[in-house]
Structure 1
Amino acid sequence: MTNPQPDSGAPDSAEDSPLGDGDLAALLERLLAEADRTQKELAEASGIKYPTLNAWMNRTRGTSRINPDHLRKMAQVLRRWGAQVTPREVFEAAGRVVPGPTDEEREARLLRIYRALPARQQRSLIGIAEDMAAAIRIS
């Protein structure tokens, strides 16, 4: 499943290559073999509980709710181990839209705006953000 990505304004060619595997389990299996590493090593290096990673690998747990930071961290660890993979490939294999790059300045600005709002509007903003995230998961 490939979803068009909004232009974040910051090109990241490391995230722009095509997906070669059918799902996250297949991709991780190939990459772990390529890096000559184990699931346990990947779980430990990525900060993911081994039973959770193992459930993704055995396809007994869905991938639609994986924390995006975990997907990015797995890609980062695998690349450090010499595997040829991009964050885009990992996100797409998990059936997820690749989020824009993290920008601390934008996050801080959003937090300042949120903190300046009355409680009712804070709840509304959270609801809007949740609706946006749900729409991305559905598409």
Structure 2
Amino acid sequence: MTTAPNGPGEHDHPAEDPAFRGEDLAALLTRLLAEVGKTQKDLAEASDIKYPTLNAWVNRTRGTSRIDTEHLRKMAEILRRWGADVTPGILFRSAGRVVPGPSDEEREARLLRIYRSLPARQQRSLIGIAEDMAAAIRAS
């Protein structure tokens, strides 16, 4: 594990992402849980992960390469709800995993944000386009 940078601008990666400080999943979870005042047991219970499994990840006695992607997403969601500054991408990178594309919920939320940002006329056009796409899929 690498050490954290000594000062501003000394990150190995341009992103201001704690995972790029060299934190593996164990270090990241330990730090975030301490920041939000929660325990491993709290996180395990809230994210429907067996405590011995989560504890093994934190103690580095079980590898992280096969963690279910939904567990990583769920842990990020729970930690964010508790006030931690973390994203699914940070957890995936800290576990040495490829960050997958957005979840269905994230895509739906993005689409809804776009829709709400449009004037009424463009909202109606977007609905028409979506209906045409759905009809084309049903027809094929």
TM-score (norm 2): 0.60
Conserved 8 A contact 1:17-1:86? no
Larger relative contact order (Cα-Cα within 8 Å, sequence gap ≥ 6): 1
Q: What does residue 107 of structure 1 align with?
A: none
Q: Letter of the aligned partner of 2:81 in structure 1?
A: R
**Alpha-carbon distance between aligned partners in 1 of 2:46 and 2:62, rounded to the nearest angstrom:** 20
Q: Give the 5 Å matches for 1:42-81.
A: 42-81=43-82
Q: What does residue 102 of structure 2 align with?
A: 101
Deviation (angstroms), 1:103: 3.2
Deviation (angstroms), 1:102: 2.5
Q: Letter of the aligned partner of 1:91 in structure 2?
A: F
* Unmatched 5+ stretches in structure 2: 1-14, 106-140
SS at match of 1:37: coil
CA distance 1:21–1:40, shift in 2 (3 Å): farther
Identity of aligned residues (%): 71
Deviation (angstroms), 1:21: 4.4
Deviation (angstroms), 1:86: 1.2
**Alpha-carbon distance between aligned partners in 1 of 2:32 and 2:22, rounded to the nearest angstrom:** 10
Count of aligned residue pairs for this structure pair:
90
* Unmatched 5+ stretches in structure 1: 1-15, 105-139
Q: Letter of the aligned partner of 1:49 in structure 2?
A: K
TM-score (norm 1): 0.61
SS at match of 1:65: coil
Give CA-to-partner distance per residue, 1:33-64, whole Å, 9 cap, x none.
00100000000001100000000000000000
Q: What does residue 24 of structure 2 align with?
A: 23
Give CA-to-partner distance per residue, 1:95-139, whole Å, 9 cap, x none.
0011111238xxxxxxxxxxxxxxxxxxxxxxxxxxxxxxxxxxx
**Alpha-carbon distance between aligned partners in 1 of 2:36 and 2:74, rounded to the nearest angstrom:** 15
Computing the radius of gyration from Cα coordinates, the structure with the larger value is: 2
CA distance 1:44–1:21, shift in 2 (3 Å): farther
Conserved 8 A contact 1:64-1:96? yes
Conserved 8 A contact 1:23-1:93? yes
**Alpha-carbon distance between aligned partners in 2 of 1:49 and 1:74, rounded to the nearest angstrom:** 12
Which aligned runs of 4 or more in structure 1 are off by greater than 6 angstroms?
A: none
